[in-house]
């Protein structure tokens, strides 16, 4: 079970999870240094736990924190520097990239699927390709989702966009208020069914 799955299985009341997040901090030996279950994903929920790490490192004669990984550098920088003052020393900012912006290869195309009919029509192509394959063959589909996040209080919104990449096409599916159920299956092998509910 990953740390992202733990809060879903702990402390349910009326079928709803009490905890929104499990925040873990590990050292370079992959030893857990802090683990905190929180009601929201807001900074004020887990920063107090992290702020104890520098005291523990000092008490036992270890070096202070020199590196932190986060998926939200701009949003987390100020709080992490406040908790880990060692992150403010000898830091050389990475200059902006001189690489050209990434673009789709010329043989790729993107399509916005704004209606249920468009979604079903395009996904039928996937199912037809899957039906033509031998049971031991595979197709590769990349899936990504985007949603809004309120960084001040850690509350995230509903999924707003689903992105599917298959072959040389990228399908962008804006998700509106209706529930989208996508079921991909093989006619002759239902054990390989994939059900994606948003």
Q: Are residue 84 and residue 115 in the same domain, yes or no?
A: no
Q: Are residue 76 and residue 113 in the same domain, yes or no?
A: no
pLDDT for 15-50, tens place per residue?
A: 777 777 777 777 778 888 778 888 777 767 778 888
In a domain, 162, yes or no: yes
Q: Are residue 144 and residue 78 in the same domain, yes or no?
A: no
In a domain, 69, yes or no: yes
**If we measure between CA atoms, which residue out of 174, 179, 180, 160 comes closest to residue 110?**
174
In a domain, 100, yes or no: no
Q: Are residue 181 and residue 140 in the same domain, yes or no?
A: yes
CA separation for the pair 34, 196 (Å, rounded): 33
Number of domains in the chain: 2
In a domain, 101, yes or no: no
Q: Are residue 29 and residue 61 in the same domain, yes or no?
A: yes
Give burial (CB, 10 Å; 0-12/13-18/19+) of 119. Answer: middle
In a domain, 93, yes or no: no
Beta bridge partners of 194: 184
Q: Are residue 84 and residue 140 in the same domain, yes or no?
A: no
Q: What is the pLDDT of residue 14?
A: 77
pLDDT at residue 52 above 50? Answer: yes
pLDDT for 114-169, tens place per residue?
A: 888 888 888 888 888 888 888 788 778 899 988 876 666 656 677 888 999 988 99
- Mean pLDDT, the chain, rounded, equals 76
Q: Are residue 76 and residue 132 in the same domain, yes or no?
A: no
What is the domain extent for residue 130? 109-197
Q: What is the pLDDT of residue 180?
A: 46
């Amino acid at each position: 079970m990953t740390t992202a799955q733990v809060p879903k299985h702990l402390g349910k009341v009326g079928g709803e999870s009490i905890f929104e997040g499990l925040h873990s901090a590990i050292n370079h030996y992959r030893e857990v240094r802090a683990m905190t279950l929180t009601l929201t994903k807001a900074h004020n929920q887990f920063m107090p736990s992290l702020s104890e790490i520098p005291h523990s490192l000092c008490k036992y004669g270890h070096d202070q924190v020199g590196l932190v990984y986060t998926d939200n550098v701009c949003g987390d920088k100020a709080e992490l520097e406040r908790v880990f003052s060692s992150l403010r020393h000898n830091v050389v900012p990475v200059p902006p990239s001189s690489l050209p912006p990434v673009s789709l290869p010329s043989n790729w195309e993107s399509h916005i699927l704004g209606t249920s009919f468009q979604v079903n029509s395009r996904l039928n192509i996937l199912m037809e390709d899957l039906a033509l394959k031998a049971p031991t063959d595979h197709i590769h589909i990349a899936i990504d989702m985007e949603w809004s996040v309120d960084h001040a209080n850690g509350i995230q919104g509903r999924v707003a966009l689903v992105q599917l990449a298959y072959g040389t096409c990228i399908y962008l599916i804006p998700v509106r208020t209706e529930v989208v159920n996508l079921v991909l299956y093989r006619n002759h092998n239902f054990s390989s069914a994939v059900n994606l509910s948003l």
